[in-house]
Amino acid sequence: MFDIIIIGAGFAGSVLAERFATQQNKSVLLIERRQHIGGNCYDERDENGILIHKYGPHLFHTDDENVWKYLSKFTDWDVYHHHVQAMIDGQIVPIPFNLNTLHKLFPPPLADKLEAALLNRYDYNTKVPILKLKQSTDNDLRYLADYVYEKIFLHYTEKQWNLSPENIEGAVTARVPIFVGRDNRYFNDRFQAVPSKGYTEIFKKLLSNKNIKLMLNTKFSDVMRVDGDKIYFLDQVFNGLVIYTGQLDDLFNEKFGSLPYRSVDMKFETLNVENYQQAATVNYPNNYDFTRITEFKKIHPINSPKTTILKEYPQDYQRGHNTPYYPIFTEENKNRYDQYAAEVAKIKNLIAVGRLAEYRYYDMDDIVKRALEVFEEISKQNFNV
């Protein structure tokens, strides 16, 4: 009945479904365990008409023109430059920590001295990972690094990951740099925007093809199973292509143990004020159980006497009880993932794609690019589906 079965209706699965359906006229079954499409990018309007991101703020940004052009076929965009602030020592300051932040938090003579030290060592408009700056032999830079590490980085990271920064892979800690410049935008990419009608509308258009059949509220294990090097669909061997975007340990019944994730308890609040905070997102590195507050009217403006905010409380992932958001990158977990990846490689018609399936962190543009690349790779291999 189907040429291809895809598990998961997030960006990875939906982009691949669209490509096979429209470019190769393949029949695709898309299976999604939730009751909606869009994965963690799913958004909807609340009772006040405010467009909220149900799984935390998603801000699209990319330097990849091909990704931008591809998604632009499915949405119009509203230009949006994300600004994030942080509560540090009772002050609201811009982050990533930059030269403007420096001059807000330090007395003028000291701020000038520290700025001079940064510019003497690093080029203007460059980013320096905080753990790298802590290794500096310059006393002034090391003083600054220790301050930023303590006030902005350490406690936020401990809350977010329940690990010390030194025990987390460098690719994660590098996402929180010091920016040697005065650009207060959180991202510096060429293309920055949010979809005019929201992310869910993108997914509806991606999947609006007669060749794509959607099965919601269905787990992989409800209709499929892996047995040795074969995949069964409704108890029949399925020889077509299977693209899996879920958790690999689920696929193989945790035979090598579970792959740990961090989750987040999302607490939405409606407030009887027009505006709550200065920026769309304000981080709280210290003294609070939550890590940040997002106000959605500042992402998708709307006239309303009320506003909706989201407080995020990091927590451990518990299978079946909450959502796996962030793979925890340690050497032990990587080795366990590699065992599962080796099992995938034994099944000739199975491909694992996506944040969960590849146990790595992808931004939205990264996963769209990855899905487009996977489609091209499969097309070149001329997989017989």
d(CA 161, CA 328): 7
Which CATH superfamily does the domain covering 4-81+193-259+327-381 fall into? NAD(P)-binding Rossmann-like Domain (3.40.50.720)
Domain ranges in the chain with CATH number 3.40.50.720: 4-81+193-259+327-381
d(CA 63, CA 365): 9
Q: What is the pLDDT of residue 385?
A: 46
In the DSSP assignment, the letter for residue 190 is S
d(CA 346, CA 42): 33
Which token pair is 300?
A: 């998708």
Q: What is the pLDDT of residue 359?
A: 95
Pick from 204, 261, 270, 232: nearest CA to 349: 232
Q: What is the pLDDT of residue 131?
A: 83
Residue 82 identity (one-letter amino acid): H
Q: What is the pLDDT of residue 330?
A: 83
pTM of the model: 0.93
Q: Are 71 and 80 in contact (CB under 8 A)?
A: no
Dihedral over Cα of 207, 213, 215, 219: its sign:
negative
Q: What is the pLDDT of residue 367?
A: 97
Pick from 198, 213, 218, 203: nearest CA to 35: 218
Exposed (0-12), middle (13-18) or buried (19+): which is 93, by Cβ within 10 Å? buried
Question: Which parts of the chain sit beneath pLDDT 70?
Answer: 165-166, 168-175, 382-385
Q: What is the pLDDT of residues 182-213, one digit of tens each?
A: 999 999 999 999 999 999 999 999 999 999 99
Our measurement of the distance from residue 160's CA atom to the centroid of its chain's CA atoms, rounded to an integer in Å, reads 14
